[in-house]
Amino acid sequence: MDQGLPTSAHHIKKSVVPLVGRVSATVFLANAAYLGFLAFFFVSGFEIRPIILLLFLVIAVAIFLLQSVLVVFLVVDWAKTDYYLMPDKIVEFRGIIVAREIVCDLRHIRTMTLRQGWLGRSFNYGTLFLKIGPEVDKHDYLELLWILHPKQCERAIRAYHEKQMSAVSGEESAKQSDEETREHYLKVPRIIA
């Protein structure tokens, strides 16, 4: 099972499909609101004067600026989070100006849930929820949002987790056998020459 697992950090890539969907929905809603505003003026029978055309132009520029700000916000929100999978931990980096790093030891993962809707299955992306044990302070779960190939990532995390847990149990059994050997050695009568 170790043959397919990388031993260095592996960048978990995020899907662009949710970003494109959010940007498209934002632009569509802003344009629909503006068309509704225009329809209100034309249907209500207002007389079109140059001042009203200037007002429409100002509103169109304001909507363009609002759309631009929202699109930049959505792109930055998408781009500011990165996930890295390592043999012993998962690291989440958040932020561009003020960076925050969350490190989750794989031994502390209690459950792993994959959420993938029909669109996610079609475009091969999803969200992994990792419930973390009480040993980790401040964080009850780690959420890997909109990652590409979530099933493969889940399998890799499970394989690393099993490897970590078997290493921990191997250490515990080695300690236990050392203790048993020591106790046996202490019980055996020694011949002092």
What is the pairing mode between strands 89-94 and 125-132?
A: unpaired
Provide the pLDDT confidence category of residue 192 given band limits of 50, 70 and 90.
very low
- CB-CB neighbours of 180 under 10 Å: 10
Q: Residue 27, exposed/middle/buried by CB under 10 A (0-12, 13-18, 19+)?
A: middle
pLDDT, one tens digit per residue, over 29-46 is 988 888 888 888 777 777
Provide the pLDDT confidence category of residue 102 given band limits of 50, 70 and 90.
confident
pLDDT on residue 36: 85
Residue 164 has pLDDT above 50, yes or no: yes
Phi and psi, residue 87, nearest 5°: -60, -25
Indicate the pTM of the whole model. Answer: 0.72
* Ordered strands of the 141-148 beta sheet: 109-115, 125-132, 141-148
